[in-house]
Protein backbone atom coordinates (compact mmCIF):
# COMPACT_ATOMS: atom_id res chain seq x y z
CA UNK A 1 0.00 0.00 0.00
CA UNK A 2 1.12 3.54 -0.71
CA UNK A 3 1.72 5.90 2.23
CA UNK A 4 -1.38 7.96 1.60
CA UNK A 5 -3.43 4.77 1.52
CA UNK A 6 -1.99 3.69 4.86
CA UNK A 7 -2.93 7.10 6.28
CA UNK A 8 -6.50 6.71 5.10
CA UNK A 9 -6.80 3.18 6.48
CA UNK A 10 -5.38 4.29 9.83
CA UNK A 11 -7.80 7.21 9.94
CA UNK A 12 -10.74 4.83 9.53
CA UNK A 13 -9.29 2.50 12.16
CA UNK A 14 -9.09 5.45 14.59
CA UNK A 15 -12.73 6.24 13.89
CA UNK A 16 -13.64 2.58 14.45
CA UNK A 17 -12.13 2.67 17.94
CA UNK A 18 -13.80 5.98 18.73
CA UNK A 19 -17.14 4.55 17.68
CA UNK A 20 -16.94 1.01 19.08
CA UNK A 21 -14.32 1.31 21.81
CA UNK A 22 -11.23 -0.85 22.06
CA UNK A 23 -12.78 -4.07 23.41
CA UNK A 24 -12.44 -5.77 19.99
CA UNK A 25 -8.76 -4.81 19.58
CA UNK A 26 -7.79 -8.51 19.43
CA UNK A 27 -10.25 -9.47 16.68
CA UNK A 28 -10.46 -6.35 14.54
CA UNK A 29 -9.12 -6.64 10.97
CA UNK A 30 -8.70 -4.21 8.09
CA UNK A 31 -9.52 -4.84 4.42
CA UNK A 32 -9.09 -2.78 1.29
CA UNK A 33 -10.82 -2.91 -2.08
CA UNK A 34 -9.94 -0.44 -4.84
CA UNK A 35 -11.94 1.56 -7.34
CA UNK A 36 -11.34 0.83 -10.99
CA UNK A 37 -10.50 2.53 -14.24
CA UNK A 38 -11.18 1.07 -17.67
CA UNK A 39 -8.77 1.73 -20.50
CA UNK A 40 -11.05 0.50 -23.26
CA UNK A 41 -14.09 -1.76 -23.73
CA UNK A 42 -17.12 0.15 -22.50
CA UNK A 43 -20.60 -1.40 -22.21
CA UNK A 44 -19.13 -4.60 -23.61
CA UNK A 45 -19.24 -6.60 -20.36
CA UNK A 46 -22.99 -7.29 -20.38
CA UNK A 47 -22.69 -8.15 -24.09
CA UNK A 48 -20.26 -10.97 -23.18
CA UNK A 49 -17.35 -9.09 -24.78
CA UNK A 50 -13.94 -7.95 -23.56
CA UNK A 51 -12.91 -5.15 -21.20
CA UNK A 52 -9.53 -3.76 -20.13
CA UNK A 53 -9.84 -2.41 -16.59
CA UNK A 54 -7.37 -1.95 -13.72
CA UNK A 55 -7.70 -1.25 -10.02
CA UNK A 56 -6.28 2.03 -8.71
CA UNK A 57 -4.92 3.76 -5.64
CA UNK A 58 -8.32 5.00 -4.55
CA UNK A 59 -9.93 2.45 -2.32
CA UNK A 60 -12.62 1.54 0.18
CA UNK A 61 -11.50 0.23 3.59
CA UNK A 62 -13.42 -1.85 6.12
CA UNK A 63 -12.27 -2.02 9.72
CA UNK A 64 -14.33 -4.91 11.00
CA UNK A 65 -14.78 -7.34 13.88
CA UNK A 66 -17.22 -10.21 14.49
CA UNK A 67 -19.92 -9.92 17.18
CA UNK A 68 -21.33 -12.53 19.52
CA UNK A 69 -24.94 -11.69 18.58
CA UNK A 70 -26.64 -11.45 15.18
CA UNK A 71 -26.52 -7.67 14.95
CA UNK A 72 -24.76 -5.81 12.16
CA UNK A 73 -23.62 -2.30 12.99
CA UNK A 74 -22.25 -0.26 10.10
CA UNK A 75 -20.54 3.05 10.63
CA UNK A 76 -20.00 5.17 7.48
CA UNK A 77 -16.95 7.03 8.75
CA UNK A 78 -16.91 9.66 5.99
CA UNK A 79 -20.59 10.51 6.52
CA UNK A 80 -20.54 10.04 10.29
CA UNK A 81 -23.71 7.94 10.02
CA UNK A 82 -24.62 4.61 11.59
CA UNK A 83 -27.02 1.91 10.43
CA UNK A 84 -27.82 -1.24 12.39
CA UNK A 85 -29.83 -4.30 11.42
CA UNK A 86 -30.32 -7.86 12.46
CA UNK A 87 -29.24 -10.81 10.28
CA UNK A 88 -32.86 -12.01 10.18
CA UNK A 89 -34.24 -8.73 8.85
CA UNK A 90 -32.72 -7.60 5.58
CA UNK A 91 -35.46 -5.15 4.63
CA UNK A 92 -34.37 -2.20 2.52
CA UNK A 93 -33.87 1.06 4.40
CA UNK A 94 -34.70 4.40 2.79
CA UNK A 95 -31.13 5.54 3.25
CA UNK A 96 -29.24 4.14 0.27
CA UNK A 97 -25.66 3.60 1.44
CA UNK A 98 -26.44 0.46 3.54
CA UNK A 99 -28.00 -1.24 0.47
CA UNK A 100 -24.56 -2.35 -0.72
CA UNK A 101 -23.73 -4.09 2.53
CA UNK A 102 -27.17 -5.60 3.18
CA UNK A 103 -27.13 -6.93 -0.40
CA UNK A 104 -23.91 -8.80 0.38
CA UNK A 105 -25.38 -10.35 3.53
CA UNK A 106 -28.39 -11.39 1.46
CA UNK A 107 -26.18 -13.12 -1.12
CA UNK A 108 -24.36 -15.01 1.63
CA UNK A 109 -27.67 -16.23 3.02
CA UNK A 110 -29.01 -17.11 -0.44
CA UNK A 111 -25.99 -19.40 -0.85
CA UNK A 112 -26.92 -21.12 2.38
CA UNK A 113 -23.75 -19.91 4.11
CA UNK A 114 -23.69 -18.90 7.76
CA UNK A 115 -22.22 -15.79 9.32
CA UNK A 116 -22.65 -14.17 12.72
CA UNK A 117 -23.08 -10.47 13.39
CA UNK A 118 -20.33 -7.94 12.86
CA UNK A 119 -19.49 -4.31 13.41
CA UNK A 120 -17.55 -2.21 10.95
CA UNK A 121 -16.37 1.27 10.16
CA UNK A 122 -15.81 1.90 6.48
CA UNK A 123 -14.76 4.74 4.22
CA UNK A 124 -12.04 5.68 1.77
CA UNK A 125 -11.08 7.94 -1.08
CA UNK A 126 -12.95 6.59 -4.10
CA UNK A 127 -14.96 9.58 -5.30
CA UNK A 128 -18.64 8.59 -5.24
CA UNK A 129 -20.61 8.90 -8.48
CA UNK A 130 -17.46 9.66 -10.48
CA UNK A 131 -17.47 6.41 -12.48
CA UNK A 132 -14.72 4.68 -10.47
CA UNK A 133 -17.12 2.13 -9.08
CA UNK A 134 -17.07 2.85 -5.40
CA UNK A 135 -20.09 0.54 -5.10
CA UNK A 136 -18.27 -2.50 -6.49
CA UNK A 137 -15.36 -1.73 -4.18
CA UNK A 138 -17.70 -1.65 -1.17
CA UNK A 139 -19.33 -4.94 -2.12
CA UNK A 140 -16.10 -6.79 -2.82
CA UNK A 141 -14.45 -5.42 0.31
CA UNK A 142 -17.20 -6.52 2.67
CA UNK A 143 -17.65 -9.94 1.10
CA UNK A 144 -13.89 -10.55 1.09
CA UNK A 145 -13.75 -9.52 4.76
CA UNK A 146 -16.67 -11.74 5.82
CA UNK A 147 -15.17 -14.61 3.84
CA UNK A 148 -11.98 -14.30 5.88
CA UNK A 149 -13.62 -13.67 9.23
CA UNK A 150 -16.23 -16.41 8.99
CA UNK A 151 -14.20 -18.89 6.88
CA UNK A 152 -16.78 -19.11 4.09
CA UNK A 153 -14.33 -20.72 1.64
CA UNK A 154 -15.28 -18.51 -1.28
CA UNK A 155 -12.73 -18.04 -4.03
CA UNK A 156 -12.24 -14.70 -5.79
CA UNK A 157 -14.51 -15.67 -8.68
CA UNK A 158 -17.36 -16.35 -6.26
CA UNK A 159 -16.70 -13.07 -4.48
CA UNK A 160 -16.93 -11.24 -7.80
CA UNK A 161 -20.09 -13.01 -8.96
CA UNK A 162 -21.89 -12.65 -5.64
CA UNK A 163 -20.98 -8.95 -5.45
CA UNK A 164 -22.36 -8.39 -8.93
CA UNK A 165 -25.55 -10.30 -8.04
CA UNK A 166 -25.94 -8.22 -4.93
CA UNK A 167 -25.85 -5.07 -7.07
CA UNK A 168 -28.34 -6.61 -9.56
CA UNK A 169 -30.76 -8.04 -7.02
CA UNK A 170 -30.62 -5.84 -3.92
CA UNK A 171 -29.34 -2.48 -5.17
CA UNK A 172 -31.30 -2.91 -8.42
CA UNK A 173 -28.68 -1.90 -11.00
CA UNK A 174 -28.31 -4.37 -13.88
CA UNK A 175 -24.54 -3.89 -14.10
CA UNK A 176 -22.16 -6.29 -15.82
CA UNK A 177 -19.21 -7.99 -14.15
CA UNK A 178 -16.35 -5.63 -15.00
CA UNK A 179 -16.29 -3.42 -11.91
CA UNK A 180 -16.36 -6.17 -9.31
CA UNK A 181 -13.85 -8.21 -11.28
CA UNK A 182 -11.41 -5.31 -11.56
CA UNK A 183 -11.69 -4.49 -7.87
CA UNK A 184 -11.06 -8.08 -6.79
CA UNK A 185 -8.49 -9.16 -9.41
CA UNK A 186 -6.46 -5.97 -9.90
CA UNK A 187 -2.69 -6.23 -10.08
CA UNK A 188 -0.08 -3.54 -9.59
CA UNK A 189 1.01 -1.80 -12.81
CA UNK A 190 -1.12 -4.11 -14.96
CA UNK A 191 -4.35 -3.90 -16.86
CA UNK A 192 -6.62 -6.94 -17.06
CA UNK A 193 -8.06 -8.16 -20.31
CA UNK A 194 -11.17 -9.97 -19.21
CA UNK A 195 -13.32 -12.14 -21.43
CA UNK A 196 -16.69 -11.46 -19.82
CA UNK A 197 -18.18 -14.66 -21.25
CA UNK A 198 -15.66 -17.24 -20.08
CA UNK A 199 -14.14 -15.07 -17.30
CA UNK A 200 -10.71 -15.97 -18.65
CA UNK A 201 -8.36 -13.12 -17.96
CA UNK A 202 -4.83 -12.02 -18.73
CA UNK A 203 -2.67 -9.30 -17.19
CA UNK A 204 -0.82 -6.90 -19.47
CA UNK A 205 1.90 -4.66 -18.01
CA UNK A 206 0.89 -1.05 -18.45
CA UNK A 207 3.96 1.16 -18.94
CA UNK A 208 3.76 4.19 -16.67
CA UNK A 209 7.36 5.40 -16.99
CA UNK A 210 6.63 7.96 -19.67
CA UNK A 211 2.87 8.34 -19.37
CA UNK A 212 0.33 9.03 -16.66
CA UNK A 213 -3.32 8.24 -16.42
CA UNK A 214 -5.27 11.32 -15.41
CA UNK A 215 -8.97 11.32 -14.64
CA UNK A 216 -10.90 14.56 -15.08
CA UNK A 217 -14.07 14.58 -12.99
CA UNK A 218 -16.96 16.46 -14.60
CA UNK A 219 -18.70 16.49 -11.19
CA UNK A 220 -21.87 15.63 -13.12
CA UNK A 221 -23.86 12.89 -11.43
CA UNK A 222 -26.59 12.18 -13.87
CA UNK A 223 -29.90 10.85 -12.66
CA UNK A 224 -30.40 9.15 -16.04
CA UNK A 225 -27.51 6.79 -15.43
CA UNK A 226 -29.30 3.69 -14.18
CA UNK A 227 -32.52 3.96 -16.23
CA UNK A 228 -30.65 4.61 -19.48
CA UNK A 229 -28.16 1.88 -18.59
CA UNK A 230 -30.98 -0.64 -18.37
CA UNK A 231 -32.47 0.69 -21.64
CA UNK A 232 -29.14 0.14 -23.41
CA UNK A 233 -29.11 -3.45 -22.24
CA UNK A 234 -32.60 -3.96 -23.68
CA UNK A 235 -31.60 -2.38 -26.98
CA UNK A 236 -28.66 -4.76 -27.24
CA UNK A 237 -30.96 -7.69 -26.49
CA UNK A 238 -33.35 -6.56 -29.24
CA UNK A 239 -30.49 -6.42 -31.72
CA UNK A 240 -29.30 -9.87 -30.65
CA UNK A 241 -32.78 -11.34 -31.14
CA UNK A 242 -32.94 -9.98 -34.70
CA UNK A 243 -29.49 -11.29 -35.62
CA UNK A 244 -30.30 -14.66 -34.09
CA UNK A 245 -33.00 -15.21 -36.70
CA UNK A 246 -30.26 -15.26 -39.33
CA UNK A 247 -27.54 -16.96 -37.35
CA UNK A 248 -28.55 -19.23 -34.49
CA UNK A 249 -25.06 -18.94 -33.02
CA UNK A 250 -25.57 -15.31 -32.08
CA UNK A 251 -26.45 -15.62 -28.40
CA UNK A 252 -25.13 -12.17 -27.56
CA UNK A 253 -23.49 -9.33 -29.48
CA UNK A 254 -20.17 -11.00 -28.72
CA UNK A 255 -21.09 -13.55 -31.36
CA UNK A 256 -21.91 -10.95 -34.02
CA UNK A 257 -19.66 -8.87 -36.28
CA UNK A 258 -19.98 -5.29 -37.51
CA UNK A 259 -20.58 -6.75 -41.00
CA UNK A 260 -23.55 -8.84 -39.81
CA UNK A 261 -24.99 -5.79 -38.04
CA UNK A 262 -24.57 -3.76 -41.23
CA UNK A 263 -26.45 -6.41 -43.24
CA UNK A 264 -29.51 -6.16 -41.03
CA UNK A 265 -29.50 -2.43 -40.49
CA UNK A 266 -32.98 -1.89 -41.95
CA UNK A 267 -34.69 -4.47 -39.76
CA UNK A 268 -33.06 -3.10 -36.64
CA UNK A 269 -34.11 0.48 -37.11
CA UNK A 270 -31.77 3.38 -36.53
CA UNK A 271 -31.38 3.27 -32.73
CA UNK A 272 -30.84 -0.47 -32.26
CA UNK A 273 -28.56 -0.50 -35.30
CA UNK A 274 -26.30 2.21 -33.85
CA UNK A 275 -26.13 0.47 -30.47
CA UNK A 276 -25.17 -2.85 -32.07
CA UNK A 277 -22.70 -1.23 -34.43
CA UNK A 278 -20.89 0.39 -31.52
CA UNK A 279 -20.79 -2.75 -29.37
CA UNK A 280 -19.52 -5.09 -32.09
CA UNK A 281 -16.84 -2.57 -33.06
CA UNK A 282 -15.89 -1.93 -29.44
CA UNK A 283 -15.42 -5.64 -28.71
CA UNK A 284 -13.00 -5.82 -31.64
CA UNK A 285 -11.32 -2.60 -30.49
CA UNK A 286 -10.33 -4.11 -27.15
CA UNK A 287 -8.56 -6.94 -28.92
CA UNK A 288 -6.76 -4.54 -31.26
CA UNK A 289 -5.84 -2.25 -28.37
CA UNK A 290 -4.26 -5.19 -26.50
CA UNK A 291 -2.14 -6.02 -29.55
CA UNK A 292 -0.98 -2.41 -29.65
CA UNK A 293 -0.15 -2.54 -25.96
CA UNK A 294 1.98 -5.63 -26.47
CA UNK A 295 3.78 -3.88 -29.32
CA UNK A 296 4.37 -0.88 -27.05
CA UNK A 297 2.47 1.32 -29.51
CA UNK A 298 0.75 3.68 -27.08
CA UNK A 299 0.09 6.43 -29.66
CA UNK A 300 -2.18 4.10 -31.65
CA UNK A 301 -3.64 2.72 -28.43
CA UNK A 302 -4.60 6.32 -27.60
CA UNK A 303 -6.33 6.72 -30.97
CA UNK A 304 -8.51 3.73 -30.13
CA UNK A 305 -9.54 5.48 -26.93
CA UNK A 306 -10.77 8.41 -29.01
CA UNK A 307 -12.66 6.05 -31.33
CA UNK A 308 -14.37 4.60 -28.28
CA UNK A 309 -15.35 8.04 -27.07
CA UNK A 310 -16.88 9.12 -30.36
CA UNK A 311 -18.79 5.85 -30.56
CA UNK A 312 -20.14 6.31 -27.04
CA UNK A 313 -21.02 9.91 -27.85
CA UNK A 314 -22.75 9.49 -31.22
CA UNK A 315 -23.82 5.87 -31.52
CA UNK A 316 -24.30 4.49 -28.03
CA UNK A 317 -25.36 7.91 -26.72
CA UNK A 318 -24.27 7.59 -23.12
CA UNK A 319 -22.06 10.66 -22.95
CA UNK A 320 -23.04 14.18 -21.88
CA UNK A 321 -21.97 17.69 -22.97
CA UNK A 322 -19.47 18.07 -20.12
CA UNK A 323 -17.68 14.81 -20.99
CA UNK A 324 -17.64 15.70 -24.70
CA UNK A 325 -16.26 19.13 -23.89
CA UNK A 326 -13.39 17.68 -21.85
CA UNK A 327 -12.47 15.20 -24.57
CA UNK A 328 -12.66 17.89 -27.26
CA UNK A 329 -10.19 20.04 -25.28
CA UNK A 330 -7.54 17.34 -25.65
CA UNK A 331 -7.76 16.89 -29.42
CA UNK A 332 -5.08 19.44 -30.32
CA UNK A 333 -2.90 18.72 -27.28
CA UNK A 334 0.29 16.91 -28.26
CA UNK A 335 0.84 15.67 -24.73
CA UNK A 336 -2.40 13.65 -24.79
CA UNK A 337 -2.31 10.25 -26.50
CA UNK A 338 -5.91 9.36 -25.88
CA UNK A 339 -8.99 10.51 -23.98
CA UNK A 340 -12.53 9.29 -23.56
CA UNK A 341 -15.45 9.13 -21.18
CA UNK A 342 -15.16 6.20 -18.78
CA UNK A 343 -17.69 3.85 -17.21
CA UNK A 344 -21.46 3.82 -17.56
CA UNK A 345 -21.66 7.44 -18.72
CA UNK A 346 -23.97 10.45 -18.31
CA UNK A 347 -21.37 12.05 -16.06
CA UNK A 348 -18.35 10.93 -14.08
CA UNK A 349 -14.80 11.14 -15.38
CA UNK A 350 -12.85 11.20 -18.60
CA UNK A 351 -9.73 9.02 -18.69
CA UNK A 352 -6.69 10.63 -20.31
CA UNK A 353 -3.40 9.07 -21.30
CA UNK A 354 -0.90 11.90 -20.93
CA UNK A 355 2.84 12.24 -21.49
CA UNK A 356 4.51 12.67 -18.12
CA UNK A 357 6.35 15.85 -18.99
CA UNK A 358 3.15 17.52 -20.18
CA UNK A 359 0.89 16.58 -17.31
CA UNK A 360 1.10 19.78 -15.23
CA UNK A 361 0.32 21.96 -18.23
CA UNK A 362 -2.45 19.57 -19.27
CA UNK A 363 -4.19 19.76 -15.91
CA UNK A 364 -3.85 23.55 -15.73
CA UNK A 365 -5.31 23.93 -19.21
CA UNK A 366 -8.23 21.57 -18.54
CA UNK A 367 -9.06 23.24 -15.23
CA UNK A 368 -9.09 26.69 -16.79
CA UNK A 369 -11.23 25.63 -19.75
CA UNK A 370 -13.76 23.87 -17.51
CA UNK A 371 -13.97 26.80 -15.14
CA UNK A 372 -14.62 29.19 -18.01
CA UNK A 373 -17.22 26.99 -19.62
CA UNK A 374 -19.07 25.55 -16.60
CA UNK A 375 -17.84 27.62 -13.62
CA UNK A 376 -16.77 24.37 -11.97
CA UNK A 377 -13.38 23.69 -10.42
CA UNK A 378 -12.36 20.50 -12.24
CA UNK A 379 -10.88 17.78 -9.99
CA UNK A 380 -8.05 15.89 -11.74
CA UNK A 381 -6.83 12.57 -10.30
CA UNK A 382 -3.48 11.07 -11.29
CA UNK A 383 -4.03 7.41 -10.64
CA UNK A 384 -1.59 4.57 -10.06
CA UNK A 385 -2.52 0.97 -10.77
CA UNK A 386 -2.47 -1.10 -7.59
CA UNK A 387 -3.35 -4.58 -6.38
CA UNK A 388 -6.98 -5.65 -5.94
CA UNK A 389 -8.92 -6.56 -2.80
CA UNK A 390 -6.72 -7.59 0.12
CA UNK A 391 -6.29 -7.64 3.85
CA UNK A 392 -4.20 -4.78 5.20
CA UNK A 393 -1.79 -5.05 8.08
CA UNK A 394 -1.74 -1.86 10.13
CA UNK A 395 0.59 -1.12 13.02
Residue numbers annotated as active site: 179
Angle between helices 298-314 and 321-330 (to 10 degrees): 150
Least spacing, CB of residue 224 vs ligand GLA, in Å: 13
132 marked among binding-site residues: yes
Alpha carbon distance 158, 128 (integer Å): 25
167 marked among binding-site residues: yes
Contact yes or no for 101/142 (Cβ under 8 A): yes
45 marked among binding-site residues: yes
Least spacing, CB of residue 135 vs ligand GLA, in Å: 8
Contact yes or no for 271/238 (Cβ under 8 A): no
Alpha carbon distance 362, 342 (integer Å): 18
Least spacing, CB of residue 176 vs ligand GLA, in Å: 3
Using CB under 6 A, which of the segments 171-179, 201-209, 245-253, 327-335 binds ligand GLA? 171-179
Instruction: Choose among 285, 58, 286, 290: nearest CA to 190.
Output: 290
Q: Could you give the string, one character per residue 36-75, with x where binding to ligand GLA holds by CB under 6 A and - elsewhere? A: ------xx-xx-----------------------------
Q: Could you give the string, one character per residue 178-207, with x where binding to ligand GLA holds by CB under 6 A and - elsewhere? A: xx----------------------------
Q: Count Cα atoms within 13 angstroms, Cβ side, for 68.
A: 2
Alpha carbon distance 34, 387 (integer Å): 8
Dihedral sign, Cα of residue 157, residue 162, residue 165, residue 166: negative
**Interface with ligand GLA (CB under 6 A), residue from 343, 350, 362, 363:** 343
Q: Could you give the string, one character per residue 271-310, with x where binding to ligand GLA holds by CB under 6 A and - elsewhere? A: ----------------------------------------
Size of the site for ligand GLA (CB under 6 A): 11
Between residues 22 and 234, which has the closer beta carbon with respect to ligand GLA?
234
Alpha carbon distance 127, 348 (integer Å): 10
Beta bridge partners of 216: 350, 380
347 marked among binding-site residues: no
Instruction: Choose among 181, 126, 118: nearest CA to 152.
Output: 118
Contact yes or no for 176/187 (Cβ under 8 A): no
Contact yes or no for 43/373 (Cβ under 8 A): no
Least spacing, CB of residue 273 vs ligand GLA, in Å: 20
**Interface with ligand GLA (CB under 6 A), residue from 98, 239, 302, 344:** 344
**Interface with ligand GLA (CB under 6 A), residue from 34, 103, 127, 176:** 176
44 marked among binding-site residues: yes
Least spacing, CB of residue 75 vs ligand GLA, in Å: 26
Alpha carbon distance 272, 32 (integer Å): 40
43 marked among binding-site residues: yes
Between residues 1 and 130, which has the closer beta carbon with respect to ligand GLA?
130
340 contributes a contact to ligand GLA by CB under 6 A:
no
9 marked among binding-site residues: no
Alpha carbon distance 105, 211 (integer Å): 41
Least spacing, CB of residue 47 vs ligand GLA, in Å: 9
What is the residue-wise DSSP string for 140-170?
HHHHHHHHHHTT----HHHHHHHHHHHIIII
Between residues 178 and 298, which has the closer beta carbon with respect to ligand GLA?
178
- The total of other beta-carbon atoms located within 10 Å of residue 116's CB is 15
Between residues 118 and 316, which has the closer beta carbon with respect to ligand GLA?
316
CB within 8 Å of 237: residues ≥ 6 apart: none
Between residues 12 and 140, which has the closer beta carbon with respect to ligand GLA?
140
Between residues 179 and 363, which has the closer beta carbon with respect to ligand GLA?
179
Contact yes or no for 324/301 (Cβ under 8 A): no
Instruction: Point out the annotated binding site.
Output: 42-45, 129-135, 167, 229
Instruction: Point out the annotated binding site for ATP.
Output: 129-135
Q: Which residues bind ligand GLA (CB under 6 A)?
A: 42-43, 45-46, 133, 175-176, 178-179, 343-344
Amino acid sequence: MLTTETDIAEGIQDKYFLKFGTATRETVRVFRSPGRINLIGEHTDYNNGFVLPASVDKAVYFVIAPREDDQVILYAADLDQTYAFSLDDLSKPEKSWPHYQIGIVEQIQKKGLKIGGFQAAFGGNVPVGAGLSSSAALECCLLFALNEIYGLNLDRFSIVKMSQKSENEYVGVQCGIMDQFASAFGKEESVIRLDCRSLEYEYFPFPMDDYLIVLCDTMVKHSLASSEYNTRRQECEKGTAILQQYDANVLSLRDATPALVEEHQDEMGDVVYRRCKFITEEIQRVQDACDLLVQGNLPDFGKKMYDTHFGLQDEYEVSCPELDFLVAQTLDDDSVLGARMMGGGFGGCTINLVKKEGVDAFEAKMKQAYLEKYQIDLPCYRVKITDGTEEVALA
